[in-house]
Structure 1
Amino acid sequence: MKTFSKLLLAGLVSAALMGCNDDNDKAINVTLLHINDHHSHISSDDFDYDVSSLGLSATTEAGDPVTEVAVNYGGFAMMKTLFDDLAAAAENPIKIHAGDAITGTLYYTLFAGEADADVMNDICFDAFALGNHEFDDGDAGLATFLDYLAEGSCQTPVLAANVVPHEDSAIADGYIQPYTVLQFEGEKVGLIGIDIADKTKNSSQPDDGTEFLDEIETAQSYIDELKLDGVNKIILVTHYQYANDLSMAQALAGVDVIVGGDSHTLLGSDALADVGFNVQGDYPTITTNADGEPVCVVQAWEYAHLMGQLQVSFDKKGVVESCAGTPVMPIEQSFSYEYNEDDSAVLDAADEALVVAALEAVPEMRMVVANENTAAMIAAFDEQKESLEQSVIGQVAEDLCLERFPGQGRSTICDASETYAMGSDISNIVAKAFLMVTPTADIAIQNGGGVRVDVAAGDYTIADAYTLLPFSNTLVTLDMTGQQIITVLEDALSNTLDDAGSSGSYPYASGLRYDVDASAAEGSRISNVEVNSRVAGDWAAIDTSATYTVVTNDFIASGRDGYDTFGVVYDAGDFVDTYTEYAQGFVSYVEMLTEANESLMALPTDEYSTQRYIGSDGCDHSSQSDCAGY
């Protein structure tokens, strides 16, 4: 009798794990509406659209035909409309956010997650999976954001199956759960959250005692648990990167759909790529799990620019019969163009209709009217933001001079003699700031042209930081050999000296110093290169065969401004985008100094990246005071 009972129990467990159903189970359809990685980008953005082939009647002030218009797209006001409209028309809709909701813009810097939580609650997601950047301000910072999220009526489940907070963690008491189970037509659908483990531990700032378990082992464990509970339709909501999601799908038994994030992967049609967007795969991408059954993998790019829309049909055993869909990019039906250097104009109705027709021919693009209530909510935060931008975050102890090449004389508040020998004060400081706020980096490199103004002694505000670093660049890390680092410095110099490029390519650095001879032949201008990783030890000659992690801005990381060797590494995929705007990184550095009762001031001379400079005329700025130029 005991043997029979054991066999019966084993059979029941096996049947549950295999997704065996009773006669009441049935096939159902669900619609997944999802975003990921909005990174505190709650307002709309714009992109330039080539209209040269549309025959518009509009002309510039000079009478030239308009060849390009600005298209306003994305943002939570349009996303709210889109989610509401598509959910109302969908069969069994599930609204999902796959992580990295916070950090990246002033909306987080100033409001600590409140603005993000409010727009998320406005949409009312059915599940939110934690991403690595949720831990950028430690467990306590995450708790603050999740408290704001919990203030809404949605009570969105926060999923993180492989995150184990330590006993005293601010998120230990009921903030997160491994999964949630939804019911449609009497059928259960399980959603399991998975965060990327190593990246979160090494690139963000979780508490020391908080653990991040293996993604695949944890996912399988909870899939099995849900199967035992009679749930045979399993969706993983992952912040684990597109390529990892595909590998994980094949390694797991019982998984049906993966809604992912972290890699900011744009999936879509060739038509979307033809407009100029970097489409990296099919939406959905279909693979098979360890059982040989279909798995549908999707992701929805970044910054609330696009919403994924996936229809999934399950049979009564919980196996995917089909999945299909098209991501949707919400677009405002109003288009501006550059009328002259100072003014823009809006297309008239006839030209607008031509642009709308062309854009709507792209399957992913849809004209959307922004939700008025959401727009008003964002406008209220914008009003506060304008005031808070003037908040003093630190003190500047002395005037900090701007320069590109040493001796160029670009500064408006400093005498040329002050930057004559070693170049810019503030550009060296910016490089150090990026190094200090990027814990995985050994050294930092910043192009001189990316730093825009002198910094005068006195109070320093958030607005000052965004004036200093006004571009929408993010901080990126690249793993490079010592020889590649030397070569990239040579690239930067060559861009100006050999290729007549911008003088803004001149390289500044932190944790890295060198001598420059602008009069030498191409490829031989950099010498005496030394490294002091994180400026935490002693200076030593760079090891050309060793690998170092370099933090820089994504503009030059991709090979722009003459930084060709960066571009080679970047194109090979050997980089990590932190998705932290570089101005926000500088704000964080100034706040770090303030917390330590320190002011922003010129670095010690041994930390300046240019230790000796010989101009293109052969004049040594270190020993001669009458060099004519750079």
Structure 2
Amino acid sequence: MLKATCLRALPLGLILLVTAACAPLGSEPVSTPPLTLHIAHINDTHSAFDPIDGQFQAQEQRVYNQWGGHPRLLTRIEQHRQAASDHQLPFLVLHGGDAWQGTAYFKVNEGRMNADILSRMGIDAMALGNHEFDLSNAHLNTFIEYINFPVLAANIDTSNDPDLADQANLKAYTLFRFDGAEKRVITRADISQAQRQGAQVVAVFGIALDDMPSISPNVGEVIFHDMVTSAQAMVDELQELGVAHILAVTHVGNAVDVSIAAQVNGIDAIIGGHSHSLLGDFRELGLGQSARPYAERVANPNGTSFTCVVQAGEYAQAVGLLELSFDADGQLTACGGGNTVLSNAALSNAAWFSDAERQQSMPSTKANDIKQWLQNVEGFAIVDEDPALREVIDTTYREPMLAAYGAPIGSLPEPIMHVRRPGDSGSDQHGSQLAPLIAAAQFNYANSPAVQRITGLKPDFALVGAGGIRSGLEEGEIREGTITLEVLPFASPLSIVPLRGSVVRDVIEQTIIATLPDGAHAGRFPYGGQLRYTFRETDAGIDGEVTSIQLNTGTIDAPRWRDLEDNVLYNVVMNSYIATGNDGWLAVAEAQRERSDRVDLIYVDGELQTRAVARIRALEGGRLQVEYQGQGIDCSASDVACNTDATAVVSYLQQRSQAANGVLLPLSYPTVTLERVNH
């Protein structure tokens, strides 16, 4: 939606031809004093309002601490704001999108809490993330209406969407006037006066994923335009208005941000999200090093200017601070800064611990020695929570959230780790421990006699996409809500899809290849249950091949492996999101284009029922639509429960827990092996 510009309803091909006509004639960038701009930024916070248990390395000592949470983010942001004010420097706070989903807080409050908490944090603008479409456009409209900052996306058109068409707080861009550290939001009509008075004008525009309909099916009638073409058109328009300092806040992934920067002239900095990239070198803390640096300078196609690209991790664990310097002509001359992970204090109520079970509080003398050592470590800060924001969370939202978790289903003697792509976050070539367990659980559910009687199908194996799993499992008690509210919160029906072995091979190769580039969105990475495979990268970050795929014809605990055959038809269990081909699983959709024998599983009034799929239709704009043979699925109906993906896992974990005296463990063998070049 190109609100506040004359581009809103135009075909994208005409945008570049009309931008000059949209702007006042003769508006040229006006020479102003040099500018230093500081930007605090966060992204992919995913309703992580409370701290998250974590750990780091301090010399030879492993420290078990807590990271982040929104009250801690706010304290750090306010520290940066005060430092900028003390030096009379302009300051912005930007959010790279995906504030929604992630914890039980979101499931219970459906975005209302997100709007409340974020509006207390002094945010200036936010990118439109894919998870902001997870409920409905009516819910998204309510969220955008409530927050006290704009949501930005210059490459969307909402004019035909009944919920978002008239939402004035969803914009293509926003403008800020700075008189020293004093900041005001202005309109395009105010630009010339601001510059005549010697003020600095900074524009921030947004870019959303142009393949959003294939990632977030519930986008209504919103149209998404090409990211690169839209970004260049937006920059051209802003420059015609006389704006010299132009920032983009995006939710497209670090690798795509770099690609946009290399194809678009005139963006000074891209503040991103989506790939959950904690950019920087955190090896001294045992937290690894990102493949790409923080504040990477990417040359623009004109060969003279460059764009600075940043991102700040995930789940409210870190705050980035980007420092930009411009000369009197508005040219970006330097960029720097870095991300800082935010820890609780060693002697707080939730102290540091010396053991993974968090039973042994770290002695104060040892903690003080580590704190002394940390003073010389970049990228780490001990930060107290903002007490007022903590009080709001605890008094208004915490009790209903805790009540939603339900009964215990078992206990973990140690964490079961989840990463999206093997090798990330210190993991080995086998990657997530949790994803194969979830795939095995979903297979086990579909393979039970009770479910087979209803479906008429005996499953062979299961596949899951890593992005559908929103967290790992911490050591200790596991409740139903741990799975349904945290780990698998999307309430997606399970599907059983007959697919030939060649299609399974294709989808595994295609989805893995898409995740190979540094900074790529890795949510589509596949994991198997009753299936194992090896993928060998042949060209670093670009290409590779599956060298082995085998299915388990034995049990989960006593596997017997047999090679997958390309011409054999297998019944594959997966959630309906990827079974429809979303998030790059297009080979699955293509296999159902003419005809599908797939069945989807839901509960109606507590009774398990199936819905037979006729085929998958590809619609305009990249949307994929399920066409049912008879009655379809309305997950919003009060008598319908669609979250069979999660209830299957709850049922399996309950069975495993009962068989093992309440103790839950990951699978004892790997199902994924990713062989990387130079890894």
Partner of 2:400: 384
Q: Give how far 1:463 is off.
A: 5.3
Instruction: Report the CA distance shift for 1:336/1:354 in structure 2 as closer, same or farther (over 3 A).
Output: same
| Partners of 2:443 and 2:529 within 8 A in 1 | no
Does structure 2 conserve the Cα–Cα contact (< 8 Å) formed by 1:17 and 1:227? Answer: no
CA displacement 1:446-505 (0-9 Å, x = unmatched): 79xx9xxxxxxxxxxx953426898699999xx9516969996676599xxxxxxxxxxx
1:304 to 316, 320, 343: 316
Query: 141, 145, 148: which one pairs with 1:147?
Result: 145
Q: Any conservation in 2 of the 1:189–1:234 contact (CA below 8 Å)?
A: yes
**AA partner of residue 92 (structure 1):** P
Give the aligned length: 456
2 CA distance for matches of 1:601 and 1:187? Answer: 52
Q: Given the alignment of the two structures, is residue 214 of structure 1 paired with residue 240 of structure 2, yes or no?
A: no
The answer for unaligned runs of 5 or more in structure 1 is 1-9, 54-66, 150-154, 392-422, 434-441, 451-461, 495-511, 540-545, 551-588, 609-630
Q: TM-score scaled to structure 2, two decimals?
A: 0.58
Using the TM superposition, name which of 325-334 and 205-214 deviates more.
205-214
1:287 correspondence with 2:298? yes
Task: Confirm or deny: 8 A CA contact 2:27 2:241 kept in the other structure.
Answer: no
Which residue of 1 is the match for residue 78 of structure 2? 84
Supply the AA of the counterpart residue of 1:68. Answer: R
Q: How does 1:269-280 map to 2 (within 5 A)?
A: 269=281, 271-272=282-283, 275-280=286-291
Per-residue CA deviations over 1:323-380 (Å, capped at 9, x if unaligned) read 1112121211124326796x71322321111222333433000111111011112213
Q: Are 1:445 and 2:463 matched, yes or no? A: yes
Q: Tell me the residue number matched to 1:524.
A: 562
1:188 aligns to 2:201 (yes or no):
yes
Match of 1:266 among 262, 267, 278: 278
- Distance 1:122-1:72 versus aligned 2 partners, 3 A rule: same
Matched with 2:156 is: 163
In the TM superposition, 1:429-440 aligns within 5 A as none
The CA distance in 2 between the partners of 1:71 and 1:238, in whole Å, is: 31
2:365, 2:488 → 1: CA distance?
33
Q: Shift of residue 252 of structure 1?
A: 1.1
Identical aligned pairs, as a percentage? Answer: 25
Match of 2:482 among 455, 462, 466: 466
Rounded Cα–Cα distance in structure 2 between residues aligned with 1:518 and 1:128: 45
CA distance in 2, matches of 1:71, 1:601: 32
Note if 1:375 corresponds to 2:390: yes
1:526 and 1:237, CA in 2 relative to 1: closer, same or farther beyond 3 A?
Answer: closer
Is the Cα–Cα contact under 8 Å of residues 332 and 367 in structure 1 kept in the other structure? yes
C-alpha distance in 1 between matches for 2:306 and 2:352 = 45
Q: Counterpart of 1:466 in 2: which secondary structure?
A: helix
Residue identity opposite 1:105 in structure 2: T
Question: Contact (CA 8 Å) 2:172, 2:205: kept in 1 or not?
Answer: yes
Please give the secondary structure, in 1, of the residue aligned with 2:177: strand
Query: Residue 127 of structure 1 corresponds to which residue in structure 2?
Result: 125
The answer to whether residue 255 in structure 2 is matched with residue 243 in structure 1 is yes
Match of 1:231 in 2: 243
Q: Say which SS state the counterpart of residue 328 (structure 1) adopts.
A: strand
Residue in structure 2 matched with residue 115 of structure 1 by the alignment? 113
Amino acid at match of 1:382: R
Check the 8 A contact 2:128/2:153 in 1, yes or no: yes
SS of equivalent to 1:201: helix
- The answer for the alignment partner of 2:374 in structure 1 is 359
CA distance in 2: counterparts of 1:524 and 1:338, whole angstroms:
44
CA distance in 2, matches of 1:131, 1:140: 16
- Segments of structure 2 that go 5 or more residues without pairing to the other structure are 1-17, 180-198, 408-439, 452-459, 470-477, 493-502, 510-525, 535-549, 580-585, 591-632, 653-679
Which SS does the other structure have where 1:197 is aligned? coil
Kindly provide the amino acid, as one letter, of the partner of residue 524 in structure 1: R
Larger radius of gyration: 1
> Structure 1: how far apart are the matches of 2:224 and 2:645?
39
How far 1:107 moved relative to its partner? 1.3
Instruction: Report the Cα distance in structure 1 between the residues aligned to 2:178 and 2:316, rounded to whole angstroms.
Output: 27
* Partner SS, residue 309 of structure 1: strand
- Secondary structure of 2:44's partner? coil
Alpha-carbon spacing, 1:355–1:427, altered in 2? closer, same or farther (3 Å): farther
- Residue 324 (1) aligns with residue 333 (2): no
- In 1, Cα distance between the equivalents of 2:52 and 2:158? 36
Q: Distance in 2 between matches of 1:493 and 1:141?
A: 40
**Partners of 2:447 and 2:482 in 1: how far apart?**
12
For residues 469 and 96 of structure 1, do their structure 2 counterparts lie closer, same or farther at Cα, with a shift above 3 Å needed?
closer
| One-letter amino acid of the structure 1 residue matched with residue 570 of structure 2 | E
Deviating more after overlay: 139-148 vs 77-86: 139-148
Partner SS for 1:237: strand
Q: Is the 8 A contact 2:553 2:559 kept in 1?
A: no
Supply the AA of the counterpart residue of 1:241. G
Larger mean CA deviation between 205-214 and 176-185 belongs to 205-214
**Paired residue for 1:40?**
47
Does the 8 Å contact 1:179/1:193 carry over to 2? yes
Give the direction of change, closer, same or farther, for the CA distance of 1:41–1:430 in structure 2 (3 Å limit).
farther
